[in-house]
Structures are given as C-alpha cells and as structure tokens.
Amino acid sequence: MIILSCGEKNQPIENIETENLTQHQIDSILMDFNFDYNNPIFIDSTKQVLLPITTQFQESRKLISKDSYYSDNYPRYWNILFYNSETGETNLLTESKMRISDFDVNLRNVGQILSKSILYKIRNDDFNKDHKLNSYDPLYLFISDNRGKELIQISPKNENLISYSIIPESDELIFRTKRDSNKNLEFDREDDLIWYKINLKLNYKPIEIVDSIKRKKIKNLYFEQWLRKK
C-alpha cells in the first residue's frame, strides 16, 4: 500500500508503506526522485574523492528552511559517496538515516588528527518524537577519517550545535551548543548556551568550559552589578 499526501498537486510523498512491495513497485516510486551527485571534492595529498548525494522529489522546488537550503522534507545532503580514484573503491559515509547540513574537508593550520579528518554537521536524532528528522531536531558535530570511515559523534546528545572553532595548530576544538534546559523538547531562548572543549588526542569526550556552578556565579554577578538596587 502506498500512502500519498492529500491536497495540492506537487506535494511530496509523506509516507510509503514498504512492507510487501515488489522491487518493481519500489522502482516505480523512485522514478519520481532525482538522485544528484554534487561536484567532486578532492582530499589533498590523497586519491580520495567525495561525492555528496542530494535527492529531491521532481515536482518540488528549492526552498529556504532553518537549514537555509531546501525544505524540511528534503535534506541538503543525506549521504556522501567516497571514491578512491586509484583503487576504484567506493563506500558510503553511513547506512543510517541522517541529514548532513554541512561538512569541512582539507582543514588547514590544524594538528595531525584533524589534518586527516572531515568534520560534519549532522541531524540523526528525532529529538521531539514527531516521527520526522528536520530542523527542529538537534544538530550534532561528527568526525570521520578522510576515507569517510570511523564516523563518530563528538558533540553531546540532545544538545543543538551552534558553532565550532579549531584551536590553531592543534587537534582541539571549542564548540557551543544549546541545551534543552527547560525540557520542553525545543531549543529556544530559555535554554542554556554551553561551551565545550575537546582534545582529540586524548579522547572524544568534550569538557564544559563553563560548568553549571560557574554559570550560576556569572549570573549572580550580573544580578549584583546591574539589577540589584543600591
């Protein structure tokens, strides 16, 4: 059984009941989608080539979203094909469902580990349990080697990545997240911004730069200096 969305023409397929479908039926459904392999990205000093994969319902159009690319129905990239131009070997970054918002390759002015790594901004967790994977779910920081293997999440689960920076000439990163402090399954103005540091030479466990005790002290200092009547 195939369930299509109702309403206006050109609406995307909302759900496809794949149980008991024949390969011919699956092929018929996939005919409505364009599988686009973006321009190749070459990894310096290697034979590795990246081909980011975008797939779009043929009747849809590129729309602005919180990811500022496509709509929430269609990720900017949903996978990346890695190709070794010398051996002909190919492999996908992952076989798990995820939205790849962006990635950084050929990192400069960094340590030995990061010089051979790729950093990704990825959504792969239905945080609010709405059975969708979109911009309302947390963005995470991931890392892999330059072959697209050993993909590891390095920012905390259930915290939305805001930004990250690499400490020059090192394998250390500083990044900022938003934590769902009020437990409402949203990342909003009432939530805390958390700063982390991670040293990839030691482990893949980030450490809070300003922990809850320090954050409380800073808030109280502001209260004393700017809010309390004297």
116-165 pLDDT tens trace: 999 999 999 999 999 999 999 999 999 999 999 999 999 999 999 999 99
Q: Distance between CA 29 and CA 73 in Å, rounded? A: 16
- Same domain membership, residue 41 and residue 7: no
- Same domain membership, residue 101 and residue 2: no
Query: Are the beta carbons of 11 and 5 closer than 8 angstroms?
Result: yes
The neighbour count for residue 183, using CB atoms within 10 Å, is 7
Q: Distance between CA 13 and CA 176 in Å, rounded? A: 35
In the chain, the percentage of residues whose pLDDT exceeds 70 is: 84
Which pLDDT value is given to residue 160?
A: 98
The count of C-alpha atoms lying within 13 angstroms of the C-alpha of 103, restricted to the half-sphere facing its C-beta, is 29
- Same domain membership, residue 62 and residue 36: yes
- Same domain membership, residue 183 and residue 73: yes
Q: Distance between CA 179 and CA 148 in Å, rounded? A: 29
For 153, the domain range is 32-227
- Same domain membership, residue 89 and residue 145: yes
- Same domain membership, residue 118 and residue 38: yes
- Same domain membership, residue 145 and residue 157: yes
pLDDT tens for 19-63 read 688 888 888 888 877 778 889 999 999 999 999 998 875 555 444
What is the tally of structural domains in the chain?
A: 2
Q: What is the pTM of this model?
A: 0.84
- Same domain membership, residue 184 and residue 102: yes
- Same domain membership, residue 13 and residue 76: no
Burial class from Cβ neighbours inside 10 Å (0-12, 13-18, 19+) for residue 228 reads exposed
- Same domain membership, residue 184 and residue 205: yes
